């Protein structure tokens, strides 16, 4: 008795995978697993209905808490990839791990996904699964399936695929972001219509709104003084900020395989939390801590995009992120309006900020007089001035030597002329 666990959404790709895993790959039993990372309820209804119609043993796993925790880890690393806050990317390892657990509980020999051979998700799923001893199967990629072939095959087999979710665009939704791609949107010259957006109002039509966001060790913990667990905080903020049109991204994205693709995203909560977190860092971290952190953050984001959040490097990066975020405790007030989020106030007990030092109205700072800066001012740029001087002198000497040479040649030439 051989058994395979399939990452199942109830869409066309994963639906055709069910019979194919039996017919083409010879498995006796297929079980479908849908992992909840905050998709809308209709997606679960569709998965349940399709599974039932297929007579597929189907499990739904709630991984929202785990996913939200990972999203908050990404906030501590200010993580975005080319401007995109990584919603799809971070969800994949969480989903893959949840499916692996179900597969282990049910003694599956193999794991399967319905990803194509062009995208990032195949890589993210398999990076997790290949650490297990189970077979990994990618029917769509391995059998070279196209949408047309799948539609025909589904027709032929009378598979339940008429469910309404497959509109013109390919949409991937979770707590952290909503991604819309495909069809007309693939054309970089095509201006997306407003109706691709579901989480964000058309920017520009609302009054401004202030929100206080409280952080503890770099983790968002409260909105306007009210504490929330991560899932609720994200959901609440998606609504608040989405109402002001905050968090739209229209970008060209460099996929891992090298393809450039046009992507549209909505991610109101992510945008607000990333903005607020960075605003708090600005006041609690020293300049050198901030400078170094951009390197750490970028490495974290790259690994996040690749779906490799379990890499040893990420563990090491977390060491610095823990240390630096230990000071990212306090409150940031942001202003939401017209599709924008702007930090407008920051408050922290760790603020590396002395009013008397920065103020124009005080004479001395910790006993240092204004006039003590004279020596510093004299030295400032010393090396550059010296280097420029040396260069000028060298150039002057060279052109003097050239002039001399010129004079010598003209004189000699004159002598020759004279001989004639
Ligand atoms: N390109 C993005 C990523 O790799 C998201 C793709 C989401 N998929 C979709 N069908 N809209 O992370």
8 Å CB contact between 243 and 255: no
Strand ranges across the sheet with 260-266 = 170-173, 178-181, 260-266, 248-254
8 Å CB contact between 310 and 93: yes
CA distances from 344 to 89, 290, 336, 347 (A): 30, 20, 10, 11
Q: Which atom of ligand 1 is nearest to the CA of 92?
A: 12
Rounded Cα–Cα distance for residues 280 and 241 (Å): 19
Q: Is 88 in the pocket of ligand 1 (CB under 6 A)?
A: yes
8 Å CB contact between 41 and 152: no
**Could you give the 3-state DSSP secondary structure of residue 214?**
strand
Number of domains in the chain: 2
Q: Is 266 in the pocket of ligand 1 (CB under 6 A)?
A: no
CATH number for the domain spanning 251: value is: 3.90.1260.10
CATH number for the domain spanning 44: value is: 3.40.50.620
Q: pLDDT tens digits, the chain, 420 residues: what are they?
A: 999 999 999 999 999 999 999 999 999 999 999 999 999 999 999 999 999 999 999 999 999 999 999 999 999 999 999 999 999 999 999 999 999 999 999 999 999 999 999 999 999 999 999 999 999 999 999 999 999 999 999 999 999 986 544 678 999 999 999 999 988 999 999 999 999 999 999 998 679 999 999 999 999 999 999 999 999 999 999 999 999 999 999 999 999 999 999 999 999 999 999 999 999 999 999 999 999 999 999 999 999 999 999 999 999 999 999 999 999 999 999 999 999 999 999 999 999 988 777 776 777 777 888 899 999 999 999 999 999 999 999 999 998 888 888 888 887 765 555 444
Give me the residues paired with residue 179 across strands.
172, 265
Q: Is 171 in the pocket of ligand 1 (CB under 6 A)?
A: yes
* 153 and 273 both lie in a single domain: no
* 329 and 351 both lie in a single domain: yes
Distance 411 CA to ligand 1 centre (A): 77
Per the domain annotation, does 114 fall within a domain?
yes
CA distances from 315 to 104, 113, 129 (A): 26, 27, 19
Rounded Cα–Cα distance for residues 391 and 395 (Å): 6
Mutate to test the pocket of ligand 1, among 179, 180, 303, 307 (most ligand atoms within 8 A of CB): 179
What's the domain range around 263? Answer: 173-357
Active site residue 92: yes
CA 160 to chain centre: 34
Active site residue 170: yes
Exposure of 301 in the CB half-sphere (CA atoms within 13 A): 19
Last residue of a domain, one of 312, 340, 357: 357
* 197 and 80 both lie in a single domain: no
Distance 80 CA to ligand 1 centre (A): 14
What is this structure's pTM?
A: 0.92
* 101 and 187 both lie in a single domain: no
* 42 and 116 both lie in a single domain: yes
**Residues 6 or more apart in contact with residue 76 via CB below 8 angstroms:** 218, 219, 277, 321, 325, 328
* 290 and 233 both lie in a single domain: yes
Tokens 């994963």 correspond to: 14
DSSP at 336: E
């Amino acid at each position: 008795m051989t058994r395979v666990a399939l990452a199942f959404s109830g869409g066309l790709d994963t639906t055709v995978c069910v019979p194919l895993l039996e017919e083409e790959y010879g498995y006796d039993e297929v079980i479908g697993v849908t992992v909840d990372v905050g998709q809308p309820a209709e997606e679960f209804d569709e998965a349940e209905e399709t599974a039932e119609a297929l007579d597929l043993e189907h499990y739904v796993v709630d991984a929202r808490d785990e996913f939200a925790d990972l999203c908050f880890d990404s906030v501590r690393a200010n993580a975005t990839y080319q401007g995109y806050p990584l919603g799809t990317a971070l969800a994949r390892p969480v989903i893959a791990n949840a499916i692996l657990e179900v597969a282990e509980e049910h003694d599956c020999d193999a794991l399967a996904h319905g990803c194509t051979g062009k995208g990032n998700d195949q890589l993210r799923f398999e990076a997790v699964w290949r650490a297990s001893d189970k077979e990994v199967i990618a029917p769509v990629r391995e059998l070279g399936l196209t949408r047309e072939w799948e539609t025909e095959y589904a027709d032929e087999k009378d598979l339940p695929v008429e469910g309404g979710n497959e509109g013109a665009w390919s949409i991937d939704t979770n707590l952290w972001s909503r991604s819309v791609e495909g069809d007309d949107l693939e054309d970089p010259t095509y201006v997306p219509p407003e109706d691709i957006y579901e989480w964000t109002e058309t920017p520009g039509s609302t009054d401004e709104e202030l929100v206080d966001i409280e952080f503890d060790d770099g983790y968002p913990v409260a909105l306007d003084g009210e504490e929330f667990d991560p899932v609720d905080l994200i959901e609440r903020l998606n609504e608040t900020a989405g109402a002001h049109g905050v968090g739209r991204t229209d970008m060209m994205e460099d996929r891992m395989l090298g393809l450039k693709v046009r992507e549209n995203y909505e991610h109101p909560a992510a945008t607000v939390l990333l903005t607020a977190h960075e605003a708090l860092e600005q006041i609690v971290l020293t300049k050198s801590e901030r400078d170094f952190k951009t390197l750490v953050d970028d490495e974290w984001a790259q690994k996040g995009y690749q779906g490799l959040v379990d890499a040893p490097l990420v563990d090491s990066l977390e060491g610095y992120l823990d240390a630096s975020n230990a000071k990212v405790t306090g409150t940031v007030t942001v202003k939401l309006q017209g599709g924008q989020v702007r930090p407008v106030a920051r408050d922290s007990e760790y603020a590396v900020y002395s009013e008397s030092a920065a103020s124009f109205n005080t004479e001395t700072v910790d006993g240092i007089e204004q006039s003590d800066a004279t020596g510093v001012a004299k030295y400032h740029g010393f090396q550059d001035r010296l280097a420029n001087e040396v260069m000028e002198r060298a150039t002057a000497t060279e052109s003097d030597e050239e002039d001399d040479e010129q004079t010598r040649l003209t004189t000699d030439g004159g002598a020759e002329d004279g001989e004639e």
